[in-house]
Amino acid sequence: MTQADDRILETLADTDLILSPRVLEANIDYSRHYLSTRLGMLRDAGLVDRVDEGLYQITDRGRAYLEGELEAEDLEK
């Protein structure tokens, strides 16, 4: 997990919206390409869902991670 991952999850949780890498890029200071890569990894870890092509929302597992109920090491198992 990176600082960008935390920012992505926090933004998705705070807004409770379905967002694209482009919208995230406009709101947090990372490139769209980097955000797309990280969103794919977060999806693989079950922290975000891809709702449609290029659209993501946080999952209950992602919220649990933000609340400290899951550790980064637990995500790699």
**Per the domain annotation, does 74 fall within a domain?**
no
pLDDT exceeds 90 at position 67? yes
Tens-place pLDDT, residues 1-22: 899 999 999 999 999 999 999 9
Q: How many domains does the chain have?
A: 1
**Per the domain annotation, does 15 fall within a domain?**
yes
Q: Strand 48-52 relative to strand 55-58: parallel, antiparallel, unpaired? A: antiparallel
Nearest 5°: the CA angle 13, 76, 61 is 25
Which residue range(s) make up the domain with 13? Answer: 3-67
d(CA 34, CA 36) in angstroms, rounded, equals 5
Q: What is the CATH number of the domain that holds 61?
A: 1.10.10.10
Task: Tell me the mean pLDDT in the region 30-45.
Answer: 96
**Per the domain annotation, does 76 fall within a domain?**
no
Q: Are 11 and 39 in contact (CB under 8 A)?
A: no
**Per the domain annotation, does 12 fall within a domain?**
yes
pLDDT of residue 74: 75
- Quick check: pTM over 0.85? yes
Helix residue ranges per DSSP H, 1-77 = 3-15, 21-27, 32-44, 60-66, 72-75
Task: Tell me the mean pLDDT in the region 36-61.
Answer: 96
